[in-house]
Structure 1
Amino acid sequence: MQIRIVIAASLLGASLITAPAGASEAIPTTLPTSAIPAPVAAAPADQAATIAALTRENALLQEKLKAMESCSISSTDLAARNSKKLKEITADVRAQRQSMAEFESYVKWMSGHVASYSKYIQASSVAARFVRFFPIPYAGQASLFTKFVSDSAVSLGAASVSINKYLGTSQQFLSRADALDPNKPTYNQDVSDLVRFADQDLLKGMSEVQDRLTTTSQLSASSLSFLESVNHYVGSGDEALTKAKSFLKSDEKAEKSFLAESTTSLRNKAQVFNGKLQLFDATVKKTAPQIKALVAYDDLARSLDPKFAKK
């Protein structure tokens, strides 16, 4: 019995002595679960999400590339586009040409009308020798009005030249535009050359006619003002006019009738002219930016196909 107790005590003591040595191995079993590192098995899930995101991004890039490829444009495409726009411009140019004949007719009529002022200038000049004030614009300043008539003749002559020149330029543009053929091997070059012609010749001539006709309109307004003033004072009892009328070499009734008819005629013709001039101005304002846009597209076509730039 004592032997058993001794053996048991020995075994118990041995176990107490060895317990500290094994304590470090027993600690992990008693740690809280929150301190345990995440399992390695979670990594494949993150990798799958990354691959999925890259796949979606790649699909979007492929769609953008396809869209860019479908929007690609060539010099031939640009030539076709410019050719279409050139033919649209021809409609406005034809409308302008229809008005040119009427503008030319009015300019010629104005030239003769202004020339008829000579006798009134002469009368005003002579009357100015006898009186210090003549109640008609420019009276007593006949030399200035003579200069006005002279300048008017030059301006009207320049307007006539510009109209005839533009008729030739616009006809050349229309003929070349009508001759454009996409089946010709020189089609792209023909379109490019016509765009340059429209910018350098057609538009320049168009703008010049616009300026000359605007000046003609201003001359008409000045002439109308003069006639209305003369018509207002003819027949009055003013002493200066009495002296001036003696140099007109025509009876007063006939002169007054002539002045009234001339004033009415000029007023009516000027109204019609100004109305057509407004329509012409509208086509110029519309056509000018269109031609400039054609030049921009032609520059792009030449950059895509450098052989056009050789010319």
Structure 2
Amino acid sequence: MNHRTLFVAIALATSLVGSLAGAQEGAVASLPPSLSALPAVEAPADAALAALTRENALLQEKLKALESCSISSGALAAKNGKRLKEVAADIRAQRQGLTDFEGYVKWMSANIAAYSKYISAGSVAAGFAKVLPIPYAGQASVFTKFVSNAALSLSAASVSINKYLAISQQFVARVDALDLAKESSSREVSELVRFADHDLLKGMVEVQEKLASTSELSASSLSFLESLNHYIGSTDEYWAKTKSLLKNDDKKEKSFLAESTTALRNRAAGFNAKFRLFDETVKKDAPLIKSLVAYDELIHELDPKFAKAK
């Protein structure tokens, strides 16, 4: 080997050693300018690991977000408990009017028999008193049936009111005794939700229907009595045609009819005003109770303890 060849070999070896020694500072810097601009090429395993690391970081962020907005079965039960107390406040207000409804129904039951003689007499007069609002074609038998059905309707209303008074009292007492701070309250809340749906709401709607029927009955009776009272104020023909049915003297009958009409008008107005308040409460609380049921079902799905008890 000549001296020139030996010199070149030594230079190449020196250059290679220098490149290896400087690899930690960056092999790219020793490349020509045109190559140093290219990105570093990762090995396939390194690229996959980096991708998994990034995906794991994203999943961790999503889990933290879900944890921050999630709600536990206990928290849902507490919300249901607070809403039960709102419903109980409405029921307590309802109960104040129920005794008035019961009194009105009893009063109507006592007076419907007294009105019946005017209704029966009115059916006789229907043939000539065309102005009277008699929707029963002037048939005495139908009027008798009306009075009989009215008595049955009022009796059914009284039964429903008394039944609901007992159910609502039980509900209010249990909600008042509910302590949401206790761990065992979740179970009691669930039981109260089911009681509200199965018993309280059913009784409430039944009373609503019976009171609506009572209101319609009152309106029909009042319409007849007012028209009859107006009619006999301008003619004695009604009395002449119906004396055999009324039997008492005209003055007493006219006075009683006028007093009965006024009393029914006043009491019916008070009844209807309170019934509207009751009706509004039912429309407010019925969907609220149904929402409590939906939340309770969700609690049973979330909590294994409730799922077993379901």
* RMSD (Å) for aligned C-alpha atoms: 3.0
User: 5 Å matches for 1:116-265?
Assistant: 116-124=114-122, 127=124, 132-135=127-130, 136=132, 137=134, 138=136, 140-237=138-235, 239=237, 241-265=239-263
Distance, in Å, in 1 between the alignment partners of 2:76 and 2:119 is 61
**Who is 2:19 aligned against?**
none
Query: Match for 2:154: what amino acid?
Result: L
Structure 2 CA distance for partners of 1:276 and 1:122, relative to 1, 3 Å = closer
1:199-249 deviation line (CA, Å, top 9, x unaligned): 111111110000000011100110011101221222544645413135422
1:42 pairs with one of 22, 35, 38: 38
TM-score by length of 1: 0.77
Specify every segment of 5 or more residues in structure 2 that has no aligned partner in the other structure, as ranges: 1-32, 44-48
Q: Distance in 2 between matches of 1:132 and 1:214?
A: 31
Larger gyration radius, structure 1 or structure 2: 1
Letter in 2 for 1:304: L
Find the aligned partners of 2:121 and 2:251 in 1 and give their Cα distance.
17
1:53, distance to aligned residue in structure 2 (A):
11
Report the secondary structure of 1:42's partner residue: coil
Partner of 1:26: none
How far apart, in 1, do the equivalents of 2:141 and 2:269 lie?
29
Amino acid at match of 1:243: K
Overall identity of the aligned pairs, in %: 67
3-state secondary structure, aligned to 2:248: coil
Cα deviation for residue 261 of structure 1 reads: 1.7
Aligned residue for 2:178, secondary structure, equals coil
Contact 2:120 2:144 in 1 (8 A): no
In 1, are the aligned partners of 2:122 and 2:138 still within 8 Å (CA)? yes
Aligned partner (choices 295, 298, 305) of residue 297 of structure 1: 295
Structure 1 residues without counterparts, runs of 5 or longer? 1-36
If the length of structure 2 is used for normalisation, what is the TM-score?
A: 0.77
Aligned partner of 1:75 in structure 2 is 73
Distance 1:269 1:107 in 2: 11
Q: Is the 8 A contact 1:173 1:202 kept in 2?
A: yes
Give a deviation string over 1:238-265, Cα, whole Å, max 9, x none.
6454131354222222222221221121
Q: Following the alignment from structure 2 to structure 1, what is the Cα–Cα distance between the partners of residues 120 and 276? A: 36
Question: What SS class does the counterpart of residue 117 from structure 1 fall into?
Answer: helix
